[in-house]
Structure 1
Amino acid sequence: MLIKIAPLAAAALLAAPAAFAATYKTDQGHSEVQFSWSHAGVSVQSGEFTQAEGTLEIDPENPEAASLNVTIKTDSLATGFGPLDDHISSADFLEVATYPEITFVSTSVEKTGENTANVTGDLTIHGTTKPVVLETTMTHFGPHPLGGAIEYYQGDWAAFKASTTIDHQAFGVGGFSTGPITIRISTEMRAQ
């Protein structure tokens, strides 16, 4: 059940005007980490983690050298149904009291198109670390469109969407398989 992931901004790594390396941090109010799974093939259920922090370091001249680090608070899980939140948070699945964080640390970036990249990294859930690939698309890089009207948005921003699929049992989460877990990330990050 997992990630960011990302947070989670490595798609910003894809080409863009600027001439130096910069650090971007997630804007919590404009970042989402959602996950979904099949419930015994009968329905699709979904949830999200509402607290995720990420840092992207990127030199637009060399996007494949970018790095992305994300930390998600597991107790911020929300499905919209309290008893399901409690069950996923319990020792049957995420064990949030024992494993309070999910992390992603990028290890490589492969540009796949003008605005796309595969960001490979180490995803740690439930104390287990496995490599995953985030398929990312940069949706914005540079001054925020609202920066001219709203002071909060002044400065440079990076935004991207990303997705990956994992097997939750490979991370020791759950005693039975619900099938693959799809993770979708959407984030805006502000230059520091």
Structure 2
Amino acid sequence: MKQVFSFLMIAFLSTTTFAQTTWKVDPAHTQVSFGVTHLGISEVEGRFNEFDGSITTTKDDFSDAQYEMTIEVPSIDTGIEMRDNHLKSADFFDAEKNQKMTFKSTSSERVGEGKYKVKGDLTFHGITKPVTLDVWYRGTVENPQNGDVISGFAISGEVKRSDYNLGPDFPEAVLSDKVVIDVDGEFKKQ
């Protein structure tokens, strides 16, 4: 009886493993950006140019998806070198000591057709906090040029600078505490 049970467990685990699909981010067709309000009157936007990410799922509609993203903090780019250097300094990201920002999902809840609330842990600047992101699964297509199967996602959310001790010497009148995060891109089926 133990042998039959062991065989059934191995068969079940093998089926589960094979049914799981991993999708890797395509950096050439993905943007990781952020926005913060300056002096209460204008939006300053930037992006991170170096990142890696994956989505793992067993369902075609991504309703059970697990999301992971790693961002290289020194790749921050606002289009102004002086500002980028200041953001990399100990006043903000302290990028020399804190080179990576990571997100790992803990749950996903369907809230509409192709739309999900994804909860997870965001870690940067040495601090981990739970965040909730809005995920819009835009669909899956086959690239006619090379046959790759690609899924598109728009991911957005908000975090507070104060939760991560980011720029503590800059009051909200100078820089909003709220930072908007946007990831818009493509993930290739592996």
Q: Does the alignment pair 1:35 with 2:28?
A: no
Query: What whole-Å deviation, never above 9, does each CA across 1:99-120 have from its counterpart, x for those lacking one?
Result: 0000000000001111100110
Structure 2 equivalent of residue 155 of structure 1: 148
Pairwise CA RMSD: 1.5
Q: Name the counterpart of 1:168.
A: 161
In structure 2, give the amino acid aligned to 1:41. G
Deviations 1:99-146 (CA, angstroms, capped at 9, x unpaired): 0000000000001111100110000010100011110111122x33xx
Residue matched to 2:185: 187
Mapped partners of 1:81, 1:61: distance in 2? 41
Report the AA paired with residue 159 of structure 2.
Answer: I
Amino acid at match of 2:188: R
Gap runs ≥5 in structure 1: 1-18
1:51-100 CA-to-partner distances (Å, cap 9, x unmatched) read 11101001116844321111000011000000000011100000000000
- In terms of fraction of residues, the more helix-rich structure is 2
Q: Which residue of 2 aligns with 1:48?
A: 47
Tell me: CA distance 1:56–1:41, structure 2 relative to 1, closer, same or farther (3 Å): same
1:13 counterpart residue number: none
Normalised by the size of structure 2, how large is the TM-score?
0.84
TM-score w.r.t. the length of structure 1 is 0.83
Greater Cα radius of gyration, structure 1 or 2: 2
Letter in 1 for 2:187: M
Instruction: Identify the residue that residue 5 of structure 2 maps to in structure 1.
Output: none
**Contact 1:20/1:61 (CA < 8 Å) preserved in 2?**
no
Return 5+ residue gaps in structure 2 as ranges.
Answer: 1-17
The alignment covers a number of residue pairs equal to 168
- Structure 2 equivalent of residue 106 of structure 1: 105
Letter in 2 for 1:159: G
